Structure 1
Amino acid sequence: MHDQQPELKKELKTRHITMISLGGVIGAGLFIGSGTLINTAGPGSIISYAFAGLLVILVMRMLGEMSTANPSSGSFATYAREALGPWAGYTIGWLYWFFWVIVIAVEAIAGATIIQYWFPSLPSWSVSLILTFLLTLTNIFSVKSFGEFEYWFSLIKVVSLGLFLILGGAIICGFIPGVESPGTSNLLDRGGFLPNGISSIFLGVTVVMFSFMGTEIVATAAGESPHPEKAIISATNTVIYRILLFYLGSILILVTVLPWDSSSLMKSPFVSLLEIVNIPAAAQVMNFILLTAVLSCLNSGLYTSSRMLFSMAQKGDAPKLFLKVNRKGIPFNAIIGCTIISYISVGFNYLSPDKIFLFLVNASGGVALLVYLVIAFSQLRMRKNYEKEQPEKLKIRMWLFPYLTYGTIVGITSIFITMPFIDSLRTQFFLTLLIALFIIGSFFLTKNRRNITKIEVEKNIS
């Protein structure tokens, strides 16, 4: 007797998908990393965020087009396989999985550091493992529990950032008693709009692209929704407003209110802004918001990496043991596998933070660009196929196809080849390239064994 095809339960509601799409844009990088970029590029960092945001909007439009035509928990790895060949799906699937299991470890360590602010005696490694374990439980219980946790994590981030935007706008307009409006002084009077030259903008774009990683999670989550088309269309149509409001709005307020060369930007620009209006316990408030952002990313990382591993197992690109789905429709083994790798990574941070763990973090640094590039190439091929064979499936269409698709490919490729010429990104470029070449090599070395595995999987589900 053959086993039934393992299926994931479609329990994510539209409100879950909507909030995941909203919160997916808001990561800890916005709250912390934005200060470093502003300190480097000055007010011109707005242009860096705008250009990177434009590329992400275009990529999300392409992903939305493919996802509405063929919703899949494997998302772009599935589309890469169909459009470019098995090697592309295999490579981008494992690269994306690698990126997120490292992110799980990084966010767990970051969460432990934040908690140590309140409880300094707690050892970092144990708190990291506990955080990962607790959020693993939410993912294992049901996909609905993942959705609920992510809903509330995202809601806290969205409301906090919304209040910050209102507060910043009030400062700029001079509505806060006792706080003088900065006007345009911080934008124009400290060396001009581009105090460090136009080259700083290009450096900023390269850094910012990594901050947007997570916007694509909605395409994966929609595969476990009863109404995937509706969820994807909603998320795709609102991505422009989300990036404009949350990212560009926040950066515009920060560079207007705070001097770009202030040392306070390097700790946390959001804390600095709260301190301007003398909000009690500003650091405490910001730490809570940061912890929420970190836990949200950790939660999403466990979900996304496990779904990618499950999807690859369906295609024979990962061991078939990761196909196991429990009675609640959860890929149990895939979640445990991702969790174990993250535990090992946390262990590496404890034993060798400046060598092994640093290598893993740097090796995952350029994955976002490769993922976005593959999405663009996949859409280019699949759009032509759908127009010939199934035009009715194109519920969302990429704007000005194929010109904007080509433009996006050129833009992302330009950013990627710029990385080795930037000191702070050179190591990430070469290590990401090394990992990518290793994965591509493993595809061809294990091709025969994977073909046998794929045949066995197909027999079991037939």
Structure 2
Amino acid sequence: MKSEKRGLSVWQLTMLALGTVVGGSFFLGSSIAIRAAGPSVLLAYIIGGVLVYFILSALSEMTVANPVSGSFRTYTEQAFGRGAGFTVGWVYWTGLVLAMSSEATAVSILVRGWFPELPMALLGMGIIVSVTLLNLLGAERLSKLESGLAAFKLLAIAAFIVIAACIIAGIGTVGSTGAVGLNVLRDQNWIPGGIRGIAGSMLMVMFTYAGFEVLGLAASDIANPAVTIPKAIGYTIFLLVGLYLAAITVLFLLIPPSLVSEQISPFVSALSLYGLGWTGIVMNIVLVSAILSTMLASVFGLGRMLRSLAEEGHTPAWMRDRTDLPYRGILVSGGAMLLALGLGLLLPQGVYLFLVSSGGFSLLFAYCLIMASHYRLRKQHGGPLTQRAGMRGFPYTSWFSIGSLIAVLASMPLIPGQGGGLVAGIMFVVLFVSVYSLGSRFRKPAVESSRQRILQNHSVSSLGSGYAQAEMSEEWSEGENKD
């Protein structure tokens, strides 16, 4: 357990975040956004990058002030009460389990292309069991593996940018293609889907950015959160947005959006036009490593989210871990992914987009509550939650972010297949609100009174151990009165 207490470094935390974010949703799923918006998807990626910056800034401010393993789930509970914390925690956990089971299916399809005799179900189960067991090694060891996988993915994107730049400049092109570049865009409609296309592409764009919240969930595994988290966030934003925008820009200078297929990575399609068809094999290797990396980091976050829910009494008592590493949370999350995988294999082919979009809803729902919780806690605290200035542009950036995220959720039906994900996401919210409401009727009053007495002993000025404990106690009391 000593390795757990040393804490993750800035570089390890950055690689863990990038390992979660850069996955199959970018290498393959970005084709859905490109088909919907054409070259104007660049605007969607810029808007998405701005939103990620504001969300991470808010999460960073709350995490530095109160570094707890529950991260945004705990902050939501502090701001809006136990019911809200219960709901966002379970909606996030459920959505991410579904999304990762779909990623396991995607990896199985890719691996089966090399070993066609292996059954899909067996491959998927093996992948989920493997990423679950690897998470039991602990944060320190997992971060080393994640650093290697994340570096491999980033190098793959950088290599594509370099190769594309050479082709655009006419260096090393096959045949008489010559220099390309703006010639590809000359006869193209830059905004083929109009505002509707940009709005419809935003869910997949945000999903390609999704996963950065692991920075907050890793708070309990960081030795010095006040220094490490802000630096890791800065590196994550710079690398992520910079590489995404560069890769998508050169992509549009190589291939018209009309030739992009949702069944093939747009990067493979682009390079194949210029005699580099062998890149399909390389890209499949990158895709497999990228998705496995995303699954590893996601199970890391799932285990810690489940531990946070268990510590607050939002799960059966047997799910509470007594060690620094959330063994039970990791194992339960892995088991749930196996169940979701079985469900995915039984449903039609369109289930992949459904699972991804329902997972996307859960993540965006969590991001909305991150911004809303940060807004309310700052209002209650009367200023920034840390000694630093806090999130820039507050409260206007909070309003912009919340409004934009709600707009993205509302635009989900604009892309075929995403409407079902929106309905499923709303059903998750209703389900867990109902479960909490029913459970609160049978909650023991003595347990709640004891919890409130403990919390009332903490001062609001004690930011290091919880800047909003008094407000949380008040919210819980109000919730009990309403019950």
Shift of 1:451: 5.2
Does the CA-based 8 Å contact 1:73-1:221 persist in structure 2? yes
Q: Mean Cα displacement is larger for which, 222-231 or 375-384?
A: 222-231
Give the corresponding residue for 1:402.
395
Distance 2:297 2:450 in 1: 28
After TM superposition, list the pairs within 5 Å mapping 1:61-460 onto structure 2. 61-178=57-174, 180-190=178-188, 192-263=189-260, 266-279=263-276, 281-326=278-323, 329-353=324-348, 363-387=358-382, 393-395=386-388, 397-420=390-413, 423-449=416-442
Per-residue displacement from partner, 1:379-424 (whole Å, max 9, x unpaired)?
Answer: 1012233445xx5724361111111111111111222223345543
For 1:285, give the aligned amino acid. V
Per-residue displacement from partner, 1:59-81 (whole Å, max 9, x unpaired)?
Answer: 11111111111112111001101
For 2:78, give the aligned amino acid. E
Per-residue displacement from partner, 1:355-389 (whole Å, max 9, x unpaired)?
Answer: 9998766543411221111011011012233445x
Q: Cα gap change, 1:454/1:415 in structure 2, threshold over 3 Å: closer, same or farther? A: farther
Does the CA-based 8 Å contact 2:44-2:198 persist in structure 1? yes
Give the corresponding residue for 2:10.
14
Shift of 1:9: 4.3
Does the CA-based 8 Å contact 1:65-1:396 persist in structure 2? no
Distance 1:123 1:453 in 2: 53
Q: Mean Cα displacement is larger for which, 98-107 or 73-82?
A: 98-107
Q: Cα gap change, 1:51/1:281 in structure 2, threshold over 3 Å: closer, same or farther? A: same
Distance 1:194 1:359 in 2: 26
Q: Cα gap change, 1:454/1:126 in structure 2, threshold over 3 Å: closer, same or farther? A: farther
Q: Cα gap change, 1:10/1:318 in structure 2, threshold over 3 Å: closer, same or farther? A: farther
Give the corresponding residue for 2:27.
31
Per-residue displacement from partner, 1:145-169 (whole Å, max 9, x unpaired)?
Answer: 2212211111111111111122222
For 1:337, give the aligned amino acid. V
Does the CA-based 8 Å contact 1:14-1:231 persist in structure 2? yes
Q: Cα gap change, 1:452/1:140 in structure 2, threshold over 3 Å: closer, same or farther? A: farther
For 1:399, give the aligned amino acid. R
Distance 2:20 2:101 in 1: 18
Distance 1:170 1:281 in 2: 17
Distance 1:273 1:457 in 2: 62
Distance 2:203 2:364 in 1: 9
Distance 1:426 1:280 in 2: 35
Per-residue displacement from partner, 1:325-344 (whole Å, max 9, x unpaired)?
Answer: 34xx3111111111111111
Does the CA-based 8 Å contact 2:15-2:143 persist in structure 1? no
For 1:183, give the aligned amino acid. G
Distance 2:300 2:113 in 1: 28
Does the CA-based 8 Å contact 1:9-1:143 persist in structure 2? no
Per-residue displacement from partner, 1:115-153 (whole Å, max 9, x unpaired)?
Answer: 111101100111111111112111112222221221111
Which SS does the other structure have where 1:393 is aligned? coil
Per-residue displacement from partner, 1:196-243 (whole Å, max 9, x unpaired)?
Answer: 333211111233222221121122123311122222111222344233
Does the CA-based 8 Å contact 2:260-2:266 persist in structure 1? no
Distance 2:449 2:336 in 1: 26
Shift of 1:349: 2.6
Q: Cα gap change, 1:182/1:265 in structure 2, threshold over 3 Å: closer, same or farther? A: farther
For 1:195, give the aligned amino acid. P
Distance 1:264 1:354 in 2: 16
Does the CA-based 8 Å contact 1:64-1:396 persist in structure 2? no
Shift of 1:453: 10
Does the CA-based 8 Å contact 1:222-1:231 persist in structure 2? no
TM-score between both structures, scaled by the size of structure 2: 0.86
Residue segments in structure 1 that go unaligned for 5+ positions in a row: 1-7
Distance 1:382 1:124 in 2: 47
Q: Cα gap change, 1:358/1:249 in structure 2, threshold over 3 Å: closer, same or farther? A: closer
Does the CA-based 8 Å contact 2:156-2:286 persist in structure 1? yes
Does the CA-based 8 Å contact 2:10-2:231 persist in structure 1? no
Does the CA-based 8 Å contact 1:66-1:79 persist in structure 2? yes
Distance 2:195 2:340 in 1: 38
For 1:139, give the aligned amino acid. N
Shift of 1:457: 11
Distance 1:32 1:356 in 2: 16
Distance 2:149 2:446 in 1: 39
Q: Cα gap change, 1:120/1:96 in structure 2, threshold over 3 Å: closer, same or farther? A: same
Aligned length, in residue pairs:
450
Distance 2:363 2:146 in 1: 22
For 1:380, give the aligned amino acid. Y
Give the corresponding residue for 2:475.
none
Does the CA-based 8 Å contact 1:40-1:200 persist in structure 2? yes
Which SS does the other structure have where 2:191 is aligned? coil
Distance 1:103 1:457 in 2: 38
